[in-house]
């Protein structure tokens, strides 16, 4: 099993380029199932999760290959198979986002239930509610979603759940609605930048979608969608992770090709605790920003509550929690999206942090230092938090089960090494 060794004590200095967003790439690659003709998707990060969605799409009759220039070429060649098997879906729950496109184009889909993961049981009841509202007959049997729908029609759907909007639920219903007769209105839709990116890709293929980025999406079905070229937005969670890395090491780094407008809640919170963050440059062609993040000598504690976009993202909760373990005073962190998403806290406590968990809240009492230790990653963002802790801990930290990290962070060891960190894959 691969492990990552990090030796603490170095300030991060230099510059890092942000890769394409994993959580935009996955639904957009699934959406190429809707296209007639070829699609070329650019700025797709090299991640195991991208490999996983490719492995799901190939058996569904799609030609899909990474090109020399790094872009991914797709072309639907055979629509006879509409099954995504358990063996493939269990590796990545986001595979569930092939449901909508398969229903829209092949009028049937057999997709394994994704199952939960350490951050929660992660049901898909809202996905199924939305697709049923469009007229699909859906049965959940033997661990599979069996869906079919000869006559799907647009409908008005409220897609909010106990934890607010659903990102992939919105993606699934929006994709299905693009090619069916009538107008679909999704109330309490997700507004995440990755959902906006998917909507922009669908519109570029000819879909009629209004309201992307708001809680109300209006989709008017069209006859067909035509393959196109599209470039994925930068990964806001990776960018936020590097802000946290600069903060925790009192570093001074230039984060290139990110989008400040995707991180207002995150930048606001890091400024509140004492990190200096400012836009250095805006690229006129791409609209992307270069941002300087400078850590402070010490940090103020603060309270953080995770919320659906534009609130503070749950995917950066573990990372800011790690910074707060060294802030002076008591910080209260409330998880309103995944109430159990605190697996990283027990590992941080093994490194000398002082965190208590009360239900969906963690109380973090700032300590003077963390000490390196052998730790174990439990999920993608928790593993990023352990790397951050290792950057500043006294001595060496060895992180086991590092495959979690490689799911969502492209060339992360190289990027940290270039910023001056003593880090190596073992």
Q: In angstroms, what is the minimal distance from the CB of 134 to ligand EPZ?
A: 15
207 backbone dihedrals φ, ψ, rounded to 5°:
-70, 155
142: exposed, middle or buried (Cβ count in 10 Å: 0-12, 13-18, 19+): exposed
253 vs 166: CA distance, rounded Å: 33
Of 39, 81, 117, 191, the active-site residue reads 117
Tell me if 263 contacts ligand EPZ by CB under 6 A.
Answer: no
Token pair of 204 as six digits: 């570029």
Structure tokens at 418: 């270039």
What is each CA distance from 163 to 87, 114, 167, 173, 316, in whole angstroms? 29, 19, 11, 18, 17
d(C-alpha 192, C-alpha 265), whole Å: 12
Of 47 and 326, the one with the shorter C-beta distance to ligand EPZ is: 47
According to the binding rule CB under 6 A, does residue 304 interact with ligand EPZ?
no
Here the tokens at position 94 are 């986001």
Give the residue with the Cβ less far from ligand EPZ, 124 or 273. 124
Does 98 bind ligand EPZ (CB under 6 A)? Our answer is no
41's tokens: 């998707």
- Owner of token pair 């697709």: 131
Q: Interface mask (CB under 6 A) for ligand EPZ, residues 307-326, using x and -?
A: -------xx-----------
- Show contacts with ligand EPZ in window 397-416 (CB under 6 A): 408
How far apart CA 371 and CA 393 sit, in angstroms, is 5
Q: How far is the CB of 122 from ligand EPZ (least distance, A)?
A: 5
161 binding ligand EPZ? (CB under 6 A) = yes
CB of 102 or CB of 337, closer to ligand EPZ: 337
Closer CB to ligand EPZ, 216 or 281, in the complex: 216
Total length of the chain: 426
Binders of ligand EPZ: how many residues, by CB under 6 A? 26
Residue whose C-alpha is closest to residue 282's, from 272, 273, 274, 291: 291
For ligand EPZ, the closer of residues 161 and 182 by Cβ is 161
> Which C-beta is closer to ligand EPZ: that of 249 or that of 319?
319
| Residue 97 C-beta: closest distance to ligand EPZ, Å | 8
User: 277 or 337, CB closer to ligand EPZ?
Assistant: 337
Q: Which of 17, 38, 118, 163 binds ligand EPZ (CB under 6 A)?
A: 163
Q: Which of residues 183-202 bind ligand EPZ (CB under 6 A)?
A: 194
Closest separation between CB of residue 128 and ligand EPZ, Å?
Answer: 7
**Contact status: 240 vs ligand EPZ (CB under 6 A):** no
Q: Which stretch binds ligand EPZ (CB under 6 A): 62-70, 119-127, 145-153, 325-333?
A: 119-127
Measured CA distances, 193 to 8, 287, 310 (Å):
34, 14, 9
Taking CB under 6 A as the criterion, the residue among 36, 75, 85, 123 binding ligand EPZ is 123
Q: Does 166 bind ligand EPZ (CB under 6 A)?
A: yes
Nearest distance in Å: CB 345, ligand EPZ: 17
Told to check if 111 binds ligand EPZ by CB under 6 A, we report no
Q: List beta partners, residue 39.
A: 74
Among residues 275, 248, 273, the alpha carbon closest in space to that of 419 is found at 248
> Is 117 annotated as catalytic?
yes
Q: Which helix (H) or strand (E) is 304 found in, with range?
A: strand 304-306
CA distance 130 to 277: 40
Binder among 127, 236, 289, 344 for ligand EPZ (CB under 6 A): 127
Report residue 153: phi and psi, to 5°.
-135, 150
Contact string (CB under 6 A) for ligand EPZ, positions 329-348, x = contact = --------xx----------
DSSP state of 309: T
- For ligand EPZ, which stretch binds (CB under 6 A), given 78-86, 103-111, 120-128, 252-260? 120-128
| 8 Å CB contact between 326 and 367 | yes
| Binding flag, residue 160, ligand EPZ (CB under 6 A) | no
Nearer to ligand EPZ, 45 or 149 (CB): 45
Q: Rounded distance, CA 127 to CA 129, Å?
A: 6
Q: Are strands 289-294 and 144-148 parallel, antiparallel or unpaired?
A: unpaired
29 binds ligand EPZ (CB under 6 A): no
List % helix, strand, coil for the chain (3-state, nearest 5): 35, 30, 35
Contacts to ligand EPZ by CB under 6 A? 22-23, 26, 94, 120, 122-127, 161-163, 166-169, 194, 314-315, 337-338, 380-381, 408
Q: Which residues are catalytic?
A: 117
């Amino acid at each position: 099993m691969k492990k990552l060794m990090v030796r603490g004590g170095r300030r991060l200095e230099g510059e890092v380029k942000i890769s394409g967003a994993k959580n935009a790439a996955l639904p957009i690659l699934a959406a190429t199932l809707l296209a007639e003709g070829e699609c070329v998707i650019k700025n797709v990060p090299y991640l195991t999760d991208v490999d996983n969605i490719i492995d799901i799409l190939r058996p569904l009759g799609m030609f899909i290959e990474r090109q020399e220039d790094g872009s991914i070429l797709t072309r639907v060649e055979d629509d006879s198979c509409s099954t995504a098997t358990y063996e493939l879906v269990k590796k990545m729950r986001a595979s569930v986002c092939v449901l909508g496109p398969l229903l829209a184009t092949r009028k049937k889909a057999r997709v394994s239930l994704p199952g939960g993961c350490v951050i929660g049981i992660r049901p898909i009841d809202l996905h199924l509610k939305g697709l049923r509202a469009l007229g699909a007959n859906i049965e959940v049997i033997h661990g599979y979603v069996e869906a079919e729908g000869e006559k799907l029609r647009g409908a008005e759907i409220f897609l909010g759940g106990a934890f607010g909007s659903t990102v992939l639920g919105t993606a699934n219903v929006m994709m299905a609605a693009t090619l069916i007769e009538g107008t679909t209105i999704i109330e309490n839709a997700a507004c995440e930048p990755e959902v906006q990116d998917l909507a922009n890709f669908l519109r570029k293929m000819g879909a009629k979608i209004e309201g992307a980025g708001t809680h109300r999406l209006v989709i008017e079905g069209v006859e067909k969608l035509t393959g196109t070229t599209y470039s994925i937005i930068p990964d806001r969670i990776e960018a936020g992770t590097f802000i946290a890395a600069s903060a925790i090491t009192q570093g001074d780094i230039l984060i290139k090709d990110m989008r400040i407008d995707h991180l207002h809640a995150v930048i606001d919170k890091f400024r509140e605790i004492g990190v200096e963050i400012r836009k250095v440059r805006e690229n006129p062609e791409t609209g992307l920003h270069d941002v300087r993040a400078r850590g402070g000598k010490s940090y103020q504690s603060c309270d953080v509550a995770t919320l659906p976009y534009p609130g503070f993202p749950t995917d950066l909760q573990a990372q800011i929690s790690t910074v707060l373990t060294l802030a002076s005073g008591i910080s209260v962190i409330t998880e309103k999206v995944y109430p159990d998403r605190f697996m990283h806290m027990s590992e941080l406590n093994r490194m000398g942090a002082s965190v208590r968990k009360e239900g969906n809240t963690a109380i973090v009492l700032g300590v003077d230092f963390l000490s390196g230790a052998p730790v174990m990653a439990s999920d993608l963002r928790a593993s990023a938090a352990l790397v951050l802790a290792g950057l500043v801990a006294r001595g060496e930290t060895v992180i086991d089960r590092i495959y979690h990290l490689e799911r969502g962070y492209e060339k992360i060891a190289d990027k940290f090494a270039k910023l001056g960190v003593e880090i190596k894959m073992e």
